[in-house]
Structure 1
Amino acid sequence: MSEKFQGYLYLSLAMILVGSTVIASKIIAAGLAPFTATAMRFAIAFPLFLLLKWITETPWPKLGRRDWLILIAQAGAGSVGYTTLLIAGLSLTSATDAGVVIGTLPIVSAAIAILLLGERPDRRMLAAIALAAAGVLTIVFKPGEGDAHSPLGTALIFGAVICEGLFILINKRVGAEISPLALSTLMAGLGLAVALVPALFEAPSAARIDKGAIVAVLYYALIPTVAGFVLWYAGSARVSGTEASVFTALAPVSAVLFAFLLLGEPVGTHQLLGIGCVLAAVLGLTVPQIRASRRTARAFQAGKA
């Protein structure tokens, strides 16, 4: 298995977990305030990252002032900004609507990769981004949506998308070499520090904290945060920022499917068509890598013979 294909696999799994955060955030929104829930998320995840780092004997990186500033900005935008805005938005709109808005993540991430990182995608990459965008637009412009939607909720979730796009790609501006586990640990620790102060001044969102919200925070901390961080950074280290942006299209796919399976929200023809376009975009990148890996393996075996 090639390094790049491994990266594609890790990115796919990470984005499926990101999609599940929509369901967790919908449950959290009913019983906890956004910054309080975010601080709890990282308070649970940070010690686990430290434990994993100690078990694996992963060293701390040597960081300069510029790298620290970038990491703090990344934690503030992605770790805290994404979570708080998503929870706040989901207190106003449905999980399906959130999944649709999160579908703009590939476009936002690609724009960040091209504008901020100066990357120049090839034709195959542009085709994959276009196909993923087509899937997103198919979902966004589905007809027959006469029910009221919250413009503020939509705006908050789109803000979360921008934060996630920055979180995904801005780490490539860090000059020092940082292992995925060390970087994940730093993101959790810095995220806790950034979220803790506003959480202390935040009014409770409910008179009685819902047990389901606590369980959802535990899930969010253990699975999408711990497992998702490690998977994403391990994957993004093996591919370009533009390639990574395509795999963010899997987040809305998993969000819509989870909303249907776990919350019972309806999924129509347009959502299914959009999901098909997104999967085709991802396969358009991964299948050539699988074939290349097989050709390399056959050539290696032939050389040994």
Structure 2
Amino acid sequence: MGSFGAMLLLAIMWGLSIPITKLGLETVPPLTLTAMRFLVAVPLLLVLSARQLRLPWQALPSIIALGVMGITFGNVAQSFGVQGTSASVGTIISATIPIFIVIFAAIRLKQHVASRHWVGLFAAFVGIALVAVGSGPGVDDLSETTVAGVAWMLVSAVAIAFYFIWSAELTVKFGLLAVTTWNSLAGLVAILPLAGWEMAHAPVQITTQAIWAIIYLGSMVSVAGLLLWLFILRAVPARVAASVQYLQPVFGVAAASVLFGDQLGLIFATGVALILGGLALAAVNKRSPPEVAVAHN
């Protein structure tokens, strides 16, 4: 598979993650869905990284904290956000992760942020507002967008972007597979008690649809997506590889429209254009260090 084909396939796989999460949330609540997703992903990662799991003890506190931040908090916030937004809105807002990567890279990695980057950030946030207003109701209650849902999606984007930047430093030192496996395990351990509490207080129905959603999120998004991402990073410059994140909303919105009947009007389309244009402008950089674009959780 060529690098372009790999990027296109990854954009489809990751772009479908929000609509697929939406399907899972129809019968499984957010905390439980996230836990089940990583109950699928972690064993697969342990098998794949079996010979690369050794880490110095001093690295474990940072990796565990990273897992709780990115895997537990980031993904739980995303699940609550998806529950409170239409699949189209959730997909577009999740595409703001690169914006926050730019901000955190400037703070943590001391990377320069030019004026065009800030213009891109502003345009994208205006686009978010238009998307939230302009997304019509879908065919069921789960497709309604709420202020809380948009807020949860933004919180998730911030947490995952911070996860990317922090993991960049750790993976350079200890290896991507080892860090990803251990922080995924730490995140799973942290969320299991919360999922247990949720299952005791909220209805959970494990349908065939939910099982397929969980398998897809765990295996295709969290594991296969990671392996494909590694292949892309070896084949093309990181600046080019990172552009795959801007293709995701195209496939996510198209899937949401088919699955949930989301009505995509002119205001919504204008918001999407602003977000994608803002993302592209914010990401423009003459020098794009590979450590910023490390992995997708």
For normalisation by structure 1, the TM-score amounts to 0.72
SS of the equivalent of 1:201 reads helix
Root mean square deviation, CA, Å: 3.9
Question: Of 191, 194, 199, which aligns to 1:195?
Answer: 191
SS of the equivalent of 2:162 reads helix
Name the counterpart of 1:273: 273
Name the counterpart of 1:118: 110
For normalisation by structure 2, the TM-score amounts to 0.74
Name the counterpart of 2:295: none
Name the counterpart of 1:87: 79
* Distance in 2 of aligned mates of 1:232 and 1:102: 18
Shift in Å, 1:161: 1.0
Gap change, CA 1:149 and 1:189, over 3 Å in 2 = closer
Question: Of 24, 30, 34, which aligns to 2:26?
Answer: 30
Question: Of 53, 58, 65, which aligns to 1:60?
Answer: 53
Contact 2:124 2:276 in 1 (8 A): yes
In structure 1, runs of 5+ residues without a counterpart are 1-5, 289-305
SS of the equivalent of 1:87 reads helix
Name the counterpart of 1:212: 209
Question: Of 221, 225, 234, which aligns to 1:224?
Answer: 221
* Distance in 1 of aligned mates of 2:222 and 2:171: 24
Name the counterpart of 2:256: 259
Contact 1:246 1:282 in 2 (8 A): no
1:103 aligns with 2:95: yes
Identity %: 23
Gap change, CA 1:47 and 1:276, over 3 Å in 2 = closer
The total of aligned residue pairs comes to 274
* Distance in 2 of aligned mates of 1:272 and 1:153: 18
In structure 2, runs of 5+ residues without a counterpart are 138-143, 289-297
Shift in Å, 1:221: 0.5
SS of the equivalent of 2:210 reads helix
**Amino acid corresponding to residue 216 of structure 2 in structure 1:** Y
Contact 1:44 1:218 in 2 (8 A): yes
Contact 2:135 2:263 in 1 (8 A): no
**Amino acid corresponding to residue 98 of structure 2 in structure 1:** P
Gap change, CA 1:14 and 1:145, over 3 Å in 2 = closer
**Amino acid corresponding to residue 260 of structure 1 in structure 2:** S
**Amino acid corresponding to residue 22 of structure 1 in structure 2:** I
Contact 1:129 1:246 in 2 (8 A): no
**Amino acid corresponding to residue 189 of structure 1 in structure 2:** L
* Distance in 2 of aligned mates of 1:282 and 1:192: 33
Shift in Å, 1:224: 0.4
Name the counterpart of 1:3: none
Question: Of 32, 35, 39, which aligns to 1:39?
Answer: 35
